[in-house]
Structure 1
Amino acid sequence: MKTEVRMMKPVAMALSLMLLVSNAGAGERESLEQLRSTTVGLIEALVQEGILSKEKANELIRKAEAAKQAPAESNAQPVVAGVADATAQDGSVVRVQYVPEFVKQQLRADIEKDVMAKLNYHVESERLALPSWLDRISFEGDVRLRYEPDRFSERNLPEFQYGLNTGRQAMIANSTDDQNRYRVRARFGINAKLSDTFTAGIRMTTGHMDNPLSPNQSIEIRQAKLDWGLDRVFVTAKPYSWLTATAGRFANPFFSTDMVWDRSLAFDGAAVTFTPKLNDSVTGFGTIGAFPIDQVHKNSFNKAKDKWFMGAQAGLEWISPNKSSVKAGLALYDFKEVQGIRNNQDGVDTRYNASVMPWRQKGNNTFDVLQNGDASCGLVDLANGGQGYSGSGCGLASKFKVLNLTGQVDLATFDPVHVILQGDYARNIAFDRQEIYNRTGRLYDKETDAYQVKLTVGMPDVANRHDWQVFGAYKRIEADAVMDSFNDSDFNLGGTNAKGTILGGSYGLDKNTSFTARWYSTREVSGLPLSIDVFLFDLTARF
């Protein structure tokens, strides 16, 4: 009986709409005829899904056709109608019947809601839709094509000379020969809503498997296939609106810029973020986390310790009624066991070889942990234009504990055009010249400060056709201000001991398709001359 009642509701609506068409005046007939056509289609769909029999459907349509052909002067009242009087040329009164627009809109909404819900089920209430787990799955991804001309100054020395007795910049694969690189990046991710509290996700990306920073890969026929690896795998819990906890390999949880962390770097470990709302305009935020860098397999021949870091950040964000905002955060990143440890001088001891960072770019002060007289710390030439390498004997001279202050002002007065000013300052407060001398036998200058300022004008996100954005920045990073393993891999082709400007812009070619051009012009802060101009031309399609 309940099933029959549920069936009659959409049927009654459909019949009422068809009767409206038959009783409408000429001014309404065209639009109602369109509505009648839709209603007939819905009746046929009800038949196909077993909700309505073919005989009952034919009977409904016959009744509607009969009503349509009834005389216009019939005294029958419409199901839903209004009546207005008008005077004809002969002075007689003509009654014009009409259906208010709001009634038609309400009827359409009711039919769509009720009938579409019914179509999800058989008469026996069996599910007709796709498996329910598909409702909890979402996909994301993008494809980026890049043309990258790299230009090196004539003032630069040959690459091998940068490692000779400098303790710095030993990881330069090319410093004199201009190059043009054609590169691609592809990413594809799947996110699942497990419950109201838990979500999980994975993401695949291109890129060399020994490079934690850049997902870019040079394309050439010689490389028959591109590398494709798992870049994200995480579980997130959000038990309260103000509390989020994530574990696995996931995106950067800190409010920061690429001066400290490359935009593509994945964080391995666990992090908890708090976002308490202090009032209608001000929200606090805080993040704490622990992240392993290199888990060393210790034994009697390997005495190096695991490398990891802890991070903590606190800050405030103010949002005005017109969506302008001010945000600032102070963070401390405490790196453990990343400094190199010298082996004994017998030429055989290798117990502390693993104290060397497994991945570096260039710029941090270093020393030779192998005690074999190789001051260049194992200079190598990388294939495919890479900027980093696993230096077999090149240990970091300084310890690292980075204090980082980040701020942003976003003016939305001219929305959708925004004016965004960002500032960033970092200092390595763990640098101790005497401690470094005791451990390495070498003296190093204290170069531990970094800062950048960036101005952006345009849409905050270039996502639609004709969206645009222009930006300019200045950045200065001293040798031991931040770890050269993790910061921006494009500026100065990666690493520290560099200063320079960044100019660029983005334009939306279509929805989810944009073009971006950037120019990085850099040179050394101190030491041997090294000037590099990097141009990036990116075509990005998101889905």
Structure 2
Amino acid sequence: MNKMPGMLLAASIAVVLMSGTSVHADEKGDLLLLKNTTINLIDALVEQGVLSREQADRLIANAEKKAQEEIRRSERAGVKSNRRVVRVPYVPDFVRDEIKQQVEAEVREKVVEDVMAQAKQERWGVPDALPEWISRIKFKGDIRLRGQQDLYSPDNFDNSHIDFLHSNDDGTLRPLTSTEDRTRARMRLRIGMDARVTTNLKTGIRFATGSFNDPVSTNQTLGNYNTPNRLLLDRAYLQYQGQNADAYNWMTLTGGRIPNPWFSTDLVWDKDLNFDGFSATFRHNLGGGNSLYDIDEQDSTLFATVGAFSLQEVELSSKDKWLFGAQLGFQKMFDDQSSFRIGLAYYNYENIVGERNSLNSTLNDYTAPEFLQKGNSLFEISNDTGGSLRRFGLASDYDIIDLTARYDLARFAPVHWILTGSYVKNIGYDDDEIRRRTNGQMFVNSTLFTEDPSKDKTEGYTLKLLIGWPTTYERRSWQAFMSYRYLERDAVLDAFTDSDFFLGGTNSKGWIIGGSYGINDYTWLKLRYLSADEIDGPTLGIDVLQLDLNAKF
């Protein structure tokens, strides 16, 4: 404990005890009241945890000791002073009362000011008076309750599409649902923590509902006979922020299980997707010089991001699966808080194509993707004589060019007009290589539908318009939006694209319309209708209706 509060209290006690030796009769009650008040103050500080009981008792004992010493010194001084008696004129009682009240008021105000200033500085007994490391930790989270309907077109027909993910898991063919509508109650919970290790280094941890086998969804479908749900480690990373002498954040280094580092849309990366690996982002201010005043005018910024991410570590082979990426972009801020941002990215997948097994061998089974949704061109890699195990690999390589741009018009703030567009192209598609790899038999969503590799389908685009507040975290804030997307079967890897539109995957086209409304602070409703049809292959139309209640804390 700091000694200052103890010294103040000890002085107060000493004054009370000393004054008790020779006082006027009508002052004795006032001094007794002051003594009791001081003792009660000490007891209150003990209850608040500012003083321990041992410290309080020692404080009173020391004060009493000092008071006795002062009394003895006063008595000795009094004996000497009697030799020279000074006659004091009579002072009326009402004058003495006024003087006493004035002095008490001034002393009380001064003591209170000193004690309050000391208490504020040292944070006596307040919640913030905790270990320093606690102030460096911040908790956050959100919860979403969703009602969802999956509506299948009457033009669909049974057993038209194969669940290739299930086939790669157990070797048997199972059809995807394509005719039975489905209604679900779903939930998503995310709880995170950010901890500042040093001024420039922080760690982020987040837990979320979801599945160990699904990287693009944190939804938990309810209706499992009330069995408990589980939380998974969704993020765990270290992040370093590099700043120059003017506190400009010119570099961000992140490693672990990290958030999406790319400026992108869900045409390529689902919003729930996190990455296992490392990324680095560099920024350069184009708007001014190196002075502090110029740094404040960060209206034009050039940024570059690079990343390396492990997709699958293969124990019995050196052909581990990796994703490497690089992005160059530009951002412009305008005087009315409008903004424009554009980024050009290149994503390169390594060792993800399938390799056909030798006769009755399973050595190349690892080349089948550990996770996929639907849409990419596949071929059968199993090669056993009985044909009892069926496994499928990717027919094409994927080297993706992604151009994304966003313009946020804030002139009518708080209402914004936000236009976002993205175009993707898979330049890794090589029909000659695919023909050699697959022996010309390439499946599209079904073993019933094959396609000539020369008919490449490697492009996609999306365009979205949002009108309203940038977020709906405030009460009565709102958004309305609509978008159109067209994504050919081998434009991107179907494993990581949006999992809601077309219920996940590529080889789809359609539109989305919806809106959000803040019903309270950090609480909002969101309604979306997603209508999608397959581009190539057997007819498949899927509409999805979602109503969400969200809360953020």
After TM superposition, give the deviation of residue 192 of structure 1 in Å: 0.8
SS of corresponding position for 2:335: coil
Aligned pair partner of 2:227 in 224, 228, 233: 224
Q: Which residue of 1 aligns with 2:338?
A: 324
Give the unaligned 5+ runs of structure 1: 12-40, 57-65, 80-107, 379-391
Over residues 429-484 of structure 1, what are the superposed CA-to-partner deviations in whole Å (9 max), with x where a residue is unaligned?
A: 01011111011111322100000000001111111111111100000000000000
The Cα offsets for residues 346-385 of structure 1, whole Å up to 9 and x where unpaired, read as 2x1212111011000000010001135999x98xxxxxxx
Instruction: Please list, as runs of the form range in 1=range in 2, the aligned pairs for 1:65-104 lying within 5 A after superposition.
Output: none
Alignment of 1:398 with 2:400, yes or no, is no
SS class of match (1:276) = strand
- Offset at residue 120 of structure 1 (A): 3.6
Q: Does the Cα contact within 8 Å between 2:5 and 2:115 map onto a contact in 1? A: no
Shift of 1:321: 1.7
Whether 1:285 aligns to 2:303 is yes
Give, in whole Å, the separation in 2 of the partners of 1:310 and 1:204.
26
- Compared with structure 1, are the counterparts of its residues 284 and 374 closer, same or farther at alpha carbon in structure 2 (3 Å cutoff)? farther
User: 1:276, CA displacement in angstroms?
Assistant: 1.9
**1:104-143 alignment, distance < 5 Å:** 115-120=119-124, 129-143=129-143
**Which residue of the other structure, out of 247, 270, 274, is the alignment partner of 1:266?**
274
Q: 1:263 to 1:5 in 2, by over 3 A?
A: closer
- Aligned partner of 1:62 in structure 2 is none
Q: Is 2:239 the partner of 1:236?
A: yes
1:491 pairs, out of 492, 496, 501, with 501
Residues 195/46 of structure 1: CA separation in 2 closer, same or farther (3 Å cut)? same
Paired residues of 1:140 and 1:189 also in contact (CA < 8 A): yes
Q: Residues 374 and 134 from structure 1, CA distance in 2 versus in 1: closer, same or farther, beyond 3 angstroms?
A: farther
Q: Secondary structure at the match of 1:133?
A: helix
**Are the structure 2 counterparts of residues 292 and 161 from structure 1 closer, same or farther at C-alpha, using a change threshold of 3 Å?**
closer
> What CA distance in whole angstroms lies between the structure 2 residues aligned with 1:114 and 1:278?
48
Rounded Cα–Cα distance in structure 2 between residues aligned with 1:343 and 1:529: 32
Please give the alpha-carbon distance, in whole angstroms, between the structure 2 residues aligned to 1:516 and 1:163. 30
What is the CA–CA distance in structure 2 between the aligned matches of 1:251 and 1:359, rounded to whole Å?
Answer: 19
Is 1:440 the counterpart of 2:438? The answer is yes
Which residue of the other structure, out of 196, 209, 213, is the alignment partner of 1:193?
A: 196
Partner Cα separation in structure 2 for residue 297 and residue 147 of structure 1: 42
Deviations 1:24-46 (A, max 9, x none): xxxxxxxxxxxxxxxxx999987
Once the 2 structures are TM-superposed, how far is the Cα of residue 159 of structure 1 from its aligned partner?
3.0
Which whole-Å CA distance do the structure 2 matches of 1:109 and 1:485 have between them? Answer: 66
**Is residue 268 of structure 2 the alignment partner of residue 254 of structure 1?**
no
Which digits, 9 at most, give the CA deviation of each residue in 1:373-398, with x for residues without a partner?
999x98xxxxxxxxxxxxx6111110
The answer (yes or no) to whether the contact 1:304–1:355 under 8 Å persists in 2 is no
Q: Give the structure-1-normalised TM-score.
A: 0.74
Q: 2:351 aligns with which of 337, 346, 366?
A: 337
SS at 2:366's partner residue?
Answer: helix
Q: Which amino acid aligns with 2:306?
A: I
Offset of 1:248 from its aligned partner? 0.5
Aligned length: 443
- In the alignment, which residue of structure 2 is the partner of 1:537? 547
Q: CA deviation at 1:264?
A: 0.3
CA contact (8 A) 1:368 1:374 kept: no
Query: Is residue 120–residue 128 contact of structure 1 (8 Å, CA) maintained in 2?
Result: no
Does structure 2 conserve the Cα–Cα contact (< 8 Å) formed by 1:484 and 1:495? yes
Shift of 1:497: 0.3
- Write the distance in 2 (CA, Å) between the matches of 1:112 and 1:424: 59
How many percent identity over aligned positions?
A: 38
1:161: Cα distance to partner? 5.0
Summarize the alignment of residues 389-428 of structure 1 with structure 2, pairs less than 5 Å apart. 393-428=391-426
319, 325, 337: which one aligns with 1:311? 325
| TM-fit CA distance, 1:118 | 3.0
User: Which residue does 1:149 correspond to in 2?
Assistant: 149
Query: Is the Cα contact below 8 Å between 2:533 and 2:541 reproduced in 1?
Result: yes
**Match for residue 353 of structure 1 among 365, 371, 393:** 365
Range with greater deviation from structure 2 (523-532 or 483-492)? 523-532
User: Hey, what's the Cα distance between the residues in 2 that align with 1:491 and 1:75?
Assistant: 79
Shift of 1:500: 0.3
The corresponding residue for 2:382 is 370
CA contact (8 A) 2:519 2:525 kept: yes
Amino acid across the alignment from 1:338: I
Mark the CA change 1:369 to 1:42 in structure 2 (over 3 Å): closer, same or farther: farther
Q: Distance in 1 between matches of 2:174 and 2:403?
A: 29
Whole-angstrom CA distance in 2 between matches of 1:533 and 1:513: 27
What secondary structure is seen at the aligned counterpart in 1 of 2:146? strand
In the aligned structure 1, how far is the partner of 2:221 from the partner of 2:177? 16
Say whether 1:482 aligns with 2:480.
no
* Separation (CA, whole Å) in 1 of partners of 2:128 and 2:222: 46
* Amino acid paired to 2:312: D
For 2:175 and 2:285, how far apart are their aligned partners in 1?
48
Specify the code of the residue in structure 2 equivalent to 1:146.
Answer: R
Q: Which has the larger radius of gyration?
A: 2
8 A Cα contact 1:467 1:507, kept in partner: yes
CA, structure 1 residues 460+109, in 2 after alignment: closer, same or farther (shift >3 Å)?
A: farther
Query: Does the Cα contact within 8 Å between 1:211 and 1:359 map onto a contact in 2?
Result: yes
Shift of 1:131: 1.9
Does the CA contact (< 8 Å) of 1:171 and 1:361 recur in 2?
A: no
Report the Cα distance in structure 1 between the residues aligned to 2:382 and 2:208, rounded to whole angstroms.
36
Tell me the CA shift for residue 277 of structure 1: 1.6
Deviation per CA, 1:134-168: give whole Å up to 9, x if none.
Answer: 1111101111111000100011121345589xx9x
User: Which ranges in structure 2 are unaligned for 5 or more consecutive residues?
Assistant: 12-39, 64-93, 107-111, 168-172, 244-248, 288-296, 441-451
| C-alpha separation in 2, matches of 1:285 and 1:494 | 31
In the TM superposition, what is the alpha-carbon distance from 1:3 to its structure 2 partner? 5.7
TM-score, normalisation: structure 2: 0.73
Deviation at 1:121, TM superposition (A): 8.4
Name the SS of the counterpart of 1:414 in structure 2. coil
Q: What CA distance in whole angstroms lies between the structure 1 residues aligned with 2:263 and 2:541?
A: 30
Q: Judge conservation of contact 1:142–1:540 (CA < 8 Å) in 2.
A: yes
Paired amino acid for 2:524 = S
Q: Which amino acid aligns with 1:539?
A: L
Shift of 1:499: 0.3
CA 1:439–1:221 in structure 2 vs 1: closer, same or farther (change >3 Å)?
A: closer
Instruction: Give, in angstroms, the shift of residue 244 of structure 1.
Output: 0.8
Task: Give secondary structure in 2 for the equivalent of 1:232.
Answer: strand
Name the counterpart of 2:532: 522
Q: Contact 2:161 / 2:176 at 8 angstroms: preserved in 1?
A: no
User: 1:304 Cα shift?
Assistant: 7.4
- CA drift of 1:190 comes to 1.4
